[in-house]
Chains A and B, each alone.
Chain A
Amino acid sequence: MYTEHLGWGLEMTVLGMGLVFALLALLWLLLTIVLKLDKEEDEPAEEAARESTAETERPATAAAGEPGEPLPARATVNGMEADLVAAILVAAHQHRQTLRRQAAPPVRAVWPGSRLFASRWLASGRARQINDWQPGGR
């Protein structure tokens, strides 16, 4: 009786664990293929940021030129200095992002797992682990 139970149980264990491992190994294989095929493209925001940096550095470049050289005229938007308008827009955008970030997960501004808005603790933990300065990898 006990031998019979043991035999059946062992058969179930081998079959069950074999199937679970086989299925998950297949899943691993598929995920690896998907991750290889679907690499994250550069975010357009990064491209835009690079362009805007070049734009904002123009006055500084001009300022670094010959003394007495006229600076480019400061742009205005509806009578307000463009820099000021930009600063207000950035502040408003940041505030909105913060509000969304603090909201419930479904309405978060950035996808879960993104490192753009990881908590400070999480971000520093990851960074420490990646930039390991301790000897012997410990």
Chain B
Amino acid sequence: MVDQETIALLMKGINGVTWQAVVMILVSLALFYLAIVKDYEPLLLLPIGAGCLLANLPLSPLMGEHGMLRILYQVGVENELYPLLIFVGIGAMTDFGPLLENPKFVLLGAAGQFGIFLTLILALLLGFSQNEAASIGIIGAIDGPTSIYVSGILAPHMLGPITVAAYSYMSLVPIIMPPVIHALTSKEERAIRMAYSQRKISRRTRIMFPIIVTAIVGTLVPFATPLIGMLMLGNLMKESGAVERLTKASSNEIANMVTLFLGLAIGSTMVGADFLKTQTLFILILGLLAFGIDCAAGVLFAKILNWLTGGKVNPIIGAAGISAFPMAARVCQRLAQQENFDNFLLMHAMGANAAGQVASVVAGGVLLALMGAGG
């Protein structure tokens, strides 16, 4: 005969189901849908969805003291190891050549960070603490690893929604950017053609670039050293050509493995009781706003450059001064071609986009320095 105690044990799972857990399981299904059907950042949204699903199942052993998800979180998120390892891979995959051809575009990357600070002000006015507001603002870097790194230090309890917002909006670049660009530019401006410089970038310069950036940024903003150091380490390995195996491992095996661990660990922070709050909704809205402000500020700054150069800069490329690489540049190229099919802005936009990559890391470091954290 089955006694009451056994029945209670068997029913423990069903009894442990809460409405919050059910909602979060639906959220995980939405993430699966975005990743699998819509192909929006599947490499990250799928593991995040899986982590969210596994963490919200009743009495999930994976979330216990020695559970796998808990261990993954402690090993790589709590100490910011995963985002830094991912940065090595990003550096090994990024070509800064277009930026080196036109170094002045580095300023477009700076303009693309306005969203961080303006969103910080809005978050403060909505009642978030200073650390929380800075963490929400960093979504405006449109850079997943930077967002995780900075918010992991300043407001670890908000890591889940911030990461989901950062990666979701990165994947929504083709949807969010065009209306902002259309609203701020005229048809004539979007049709401006930009000539390419015939400058050849020597291998020596390509090798010196990551070293110079690391030395300068690391010295002036020590808080940004981990981020910029790892990004540029990956790039140095690639450009030197001396360590092909390490470059390949960083951009493939290590990046893929860490992406999986990171996604699962972040997903595991999306536990219903903590996630389903009004502040999560605010974070998602403010993140979207930060993205919009970044694009607008970039376009407006490019318009100023266009005016200063006598009409030689297409304002569209200003919107590429964010970190979503290379998606933002591709969207700019598509928009330019809509006005003039022969217009080929891709490499200029890639230059601005590569600048956005460096600028977002610098902005993250500056934010940490201003908040007095992360040393």
Residue in B106, B117, B133, B241 whose beta carbon sits within 8 Å of that of A28 in the complex: B106
Residue in A10, A28, A129 whose beta carbon sits within 8 Å of that of B107 in the complex: A28
Residue in B109, B116, B202 whose beta carbon sits within 8 Å of that of A39 in the complex: B202
Residues of A11-47 whose CB lies within 8 A of B: 12-13, 15-17, 19-21, 23-28, 30-32, 34-35, 38-41
- Known: A5-B124, A9-B117, A132-B193; 19 extra A-B contacts, CB below 8 A, are A8-B124, A12-B120, A12-B370, A16-B366, A21-B107, A23-B217, A23-B221, A23-B362, A31-B103, A34-B205, A35-B199, A35-B205, A39-B200, A105-B238, A106-B92, A111-B206, A112-B95, A113-B206, A138-B193
Residues of B103-142 whose CB lies within 8 A of A: 103-104, 106-107, 109-110, 113-114, 116-118, 120-121, 124-125, 130, 133-134
For A30, give the chain B residue with the smallest CB separation.
Answer: B212
| Cβ distance A125 to chain B, nearest Cβ, rounded Å | 3
Tell me if B363 and A16 are in contact (CB < 8 A).
Answer: yes
| Cβ distance B285 to chain A, nearest Cβ, rounded Å | 17
Tell me if A26 and B110 are in contact (CB < 8 A).
Answer: no
Tell me if B191 and A138 are in contact (CB < 8 A).
Answer: yes
Residue in B216, B241, B347 whose beta carbon sits within 8 Å of that of A30 in the complex: B216
Tell me if A16 and B193 are in contact (CB < 8 A).
Answer: no
Q: Across the interface, which residues of B come within 8 angstroms of A38, CB to CB? A: 202, 204-205, 208
| Cβ distance B21 to chain A, nearest Cβ, rounded Å | 35
Tell me if B363 and A28 are in contact (CB < 8 A).
Answer: no
Tell me if B193 and A12 are in contact (CB < 8 A).
Answer: no
Given contact pairs A12-B370, A138-B340, A19 touches B358 in the complex (Cβ within 8 A): no
Q: Across the interface, which residues of B come within 8 angstroms of A62, CB to CB? A: none
Given contact pairs A27-B213, A35-B100, A137 touches B193 in the complex (Cβ within 8 A): yes
B198, CB-defined interface residue at 8 Å: yes
Kindly state the separation between the CA atoms of A111 and B200 in the bound complex, as whole angstroms. Answer: 12
Q: Can you offer 16 A-B residue contacts whose CB atoms are under 8 A? A: A8-B130, A9-B121, A12-B120, A16-B363, A17-B110, A20-B110, A25-B110, A27-B212, A30-B216, A34-B208, A38-B202, A38-B205, A39-B200, A106-B238, A107-B248, A125-B346
Q: Across the interface, which residues of B come within 8 angstroms of A28, CB to CB? A: 103-104, 106-107
B323, CB-defined interface residue at 8 Å: no
| Cβ distance B79 to chain A, nearest Cβ, rounded Å | 25
Partner-B contacts on A (CB < 8 A): 2, 5-6, 8-10, 12-13, 15-17, 19-21, 23-28, 30-32, 34-35, 38-41, 104-107, 111-113, 122, 125-126, 128-130, 132, 134, 137-138
Partner-A contacts on B (CB < 8 A): 92-93, 95, 97-98, 100, 103-104, 106-107, 109-110, 113-114, 116-118, 120-121, 124-125, 130, 133-134, 191-196, 198-206, 208-209, 212-213, 216-217, 220-221, 238-239, 241, 244, 247-248, 251-252, 340, 342-344, 346-347, 355, 358-359, 362-363, 366-367, 369-370
